[in-house]
Structure 1
């Protein structure tokens, strides 16, 4: 899942239009409940099941896309 696709998931889940590769999910208002929606969307799109701690460690589209690639 590339950076643009992860950014799109963040935009959809957070219901905001301004997300770039270095936007922090939690700084933009994300919480644990919304994080589960992000992780579910990633799993549906890629088949990669990440854990909440993965999003904590990689809270930006850029970092999360790298983590997805590593796990794939």
Structure 2
């Protein structure tokens, strides 16, 4: 296994990218018109979006810290 494959930040980025690809694929599929009871409440969608934004923010911070650490090690 390569060094990158074991790096937790690289693995987290790959999982996030995979999840986004799955969401895009799911949203791209044609769906029959939803009945009123089949709709996802806006509050649930907003909560999911907030969790995704928080996850992306944590990943960005981790990546930035990893890059700073790598730069310091390279000096």
Q: Same fold (TM over 0.5)?
A: no
**Higher share in helix:** 2
TM-score normalised by length of structure 2? 0.30
* Bigger radius of gyration: 2
Bigger relative CO (Cα 8 Å, ≥ 6 apart):
2
